[in-house]
Structure 1
């Protein structure tokens, strides 16, 4: 008996057919792996709330980079953990700060690895905020001056990409002007253009020792309820000279990812943040989910929403899945 309805299942009839018509593909080249580097000569330390993620001393970084290269991962983003902190985050822009030293090391042992330097002050300030504090408030313009010299010191150390994550107004323009004036016109800026004041960052603050010592970051990070504000932020950063636009977090903000993707020709980057990672690892450890299938579905959803790249703590896991080594 002939039926008049559409036969959509024809294109799902076998694994080969499904592969042939697949619209969204996740590749190892899409992945950026975050690395936490700490000062001192002790051994690497696993982050309790992020199984499989470690804080590395410099002398153990080479082995980690070698593993990434073997897996085919071509880009990392560095976060620094200094021994000493002060109220203006001196370690962020010191020529021999931990991020600067880690950058030099990676570029020396693996010149082909793209090093992205997270450009912020919160990991280096004793108060844990992303800028200069006066009378209990973060001072926007005074913070910009320190972020500029931080970016310059990272570029001088050999960073391939500067990634300012502080959410100060005008941060892209000030950093772009500073880089250009210093002869670093070739260094792109990967802006944390759309960064929400999210509850999904908790494990990162354990990993980076960067929790605010008072108050919160809601006066500079975005309200999770807002959509149009994200578009204004992204537009400003693009106009000020950003080369990439990050949306952070990812999973609860895929609508924002699509909005940004539809309004820019720049590469859009999703940050698959620490809380998103920790929840999957915890559920997997309890046997509640199939971790590999969940991870691949999550990251594929980010690609489907329109991102070009994904910063993710799952990068090594995904590279192994794609190689068939899981």
Structure 2
């Protein structure tokens, strides 16, 4: 029998060898931790569909920031959960609203150790749960929503957000926010465009986390899961409008889109390992069906391998700590 000439297994024969030839290594600063801050609670409350993840108070968020920064996590993305909501999401632009207060607390606590990021969307703040203002027929009004987004962008920047995550999927939102920020003297604010954000079933636990009031769905503005080329189109448009970073969301079910966008983009490309993706790993691990730590690592590596320069993940601090211990 002729012996094989090419033997790829030579490079797999030991831990040291595998480490030496590994094509990709994740660094803690490539991870971003999404965090929920809720108004009207006296202590952090665990989210039942996201085991290990909490709705935080303005006090408990300080410990989260310090733990993440100590682990080397690159950023904190804040989501606010208000006690009261209305049709236009007034709490989103109130300087004393929960998200803007949280931004000030986190900016003070973080210093230069970690980037302070804010989700810019109305869904947490509206009594109908949609990401925008509704017209007389109950449809999301794109251009009226842009006016609210520009107000939000300025207030968030003034509250301490260094990176503003434009997640609402309104046409023209990046250009509108960029103009408003520049006019207000915040030309150093970074715009993270949720460019390819799909109408996904994997957002389920997030709805609990922000106490979503949504009735119906968001398919008129979030993307059809069947569309791949459209993801590149959305990213191109956002870059042309001035996006500093573009995003693909969810991550694990859209690795093809992520790879496409990464191959074309001249700006950093991020991806969001969303609540349902986190919850599936946690649930399977709790049932003893998978090796939890290996599954966490493999999932995040797969997202980076597909082209993400950074990953938003609820595992960020835990995985960063594991990487530092390795």
TM-score by length of 1: 0.97
Q: Which digits, 9 at most, give the CA deviation of each residue in 1:43-74, with x for residues without a partner?
A: 11000000000000112211221211222223
Give the 3 Å change call, closer, same or farther, for CA 41–199 of structure 1 in structure 2.
closer
Question: What is aligned with 1:249?
Answer: 250
Q: Which digits, 9 at most, give the CA deviation of each residue in 1:193-230, with x for residues without a partner?
A: 11000000000010011241x22100000000001111
C-alpha distance in 2 between matches for 1:263 and 1:110:
33
Question: What is aligned with 2:18?
Answer: 18
C-alpha distance in 1 between matches for 2:200 and 2:72:
31
Q: Which digits, 9 at most, give the CA deviation of each residue in 1:52-105, with x for residues without a partner?
A: 000001122112212112222231000000111000000111111111111111
C-alpha distance in 2 between matches for 1:205 and 1:4:
54
C-alpha distance in 1 between matches for 2:307 and 2:249:
14
- Say if 1:76 and 1:116, in contact at 8 Å, map to a contact too: yes
Is 2:322 the counterpart of 1:321?
yes
C-alpha distance in 2 between matches for 1:41 and 1:254:
37
Question: What is aligned with 1:232?
Answer: 233
**Matched residue count:** 324
RMSD: 1.2
Judge which range, 310-319 or 2-11, deviates more: 2-11
C-alpha distance in 2 between matches for 1:96 and 1:225:
40
- Say if 2:121 and 2:168, in contact at 8 Å, map to a contact too: yes
Is 2:147 the counterpart of 1:145?
yes
> How do 1:89-168 residues align onto structure 2 when only pairs under 5 Å count?
89-112=89-112, 113-134=114-135, 135-168=137-170
Q: Which digits, 9 at most, give the CA deviation of each residue in 1:273-298, with x for residues without a partner?
A: 00000011001001110001011111
Pairwise CA distance, 1:40: 2.2
- Say if 1:41 and 1:59, in contact at 8 Å, map to a contact too: no
SS at match of 1:52: strand
C-alpha distance in 1 between matches for 2:324 and 2:165:
29
Choose the corresponding residue for 1:177, options 153, 176, 179.
179
C-alpha distance in 2 between matches for 1:187 and 1:136:
33
Judge which range, 8-17 or 78-87, deviates more: 8-17
C-alpha distance in 2 between matches for 1:303 and 1:41:
36
Pairwise CA distance, 1:4: 4.9
- Say if 2:24 and 2:305, in contact at 8 Å, map to a contact too: yes
C-alpha distance in 1 between matches for 2:33 and 2:278:
13
C-alpha distance in 2 between matches for 1:94 and 1:294:
41
C-alpha distance in 2 between matches for 1:259 and 1:74:
24
Question: What is aligned with 1:289?
Answer: 290
Pairwise CA distance, 1:3: 2.7
Question: What is aligned with 2:302?
Answer: 301
TM-score by length of 2: 0.97
Give the 3 Å change call, closer, same or farther, for CA 225–41 of structure 1 in structure 2.
closer
Q: Which digits, 9 at most, give the CA deviation of each residue in 1:20-52, with x for residues without a partner?
A: 110011111110000100112511100000000
C-alpha distance in 2 between matches for 1:143 and 1:221:
15
C-alpha distance in 2 between matches for 1:39 and 1:257:
35
C-alpha distance in 2 between matches for 1:56 and 1:99:
11
> How do 1:41-60 residues align onto structure 2 when only pairs under 5 Å count?
41-60=41-60
Give the 3 Å change call, closer, same or farther, for CA 41–204 of structure 1 in structure 2.
closer
- Say if 2:68 and 2:317, in contact at 8 Å, map to a contact too: yes
Pairwise CA distance, 1:5: 3.1
Structure 2: segments with no counterpart, 5+ residues: none
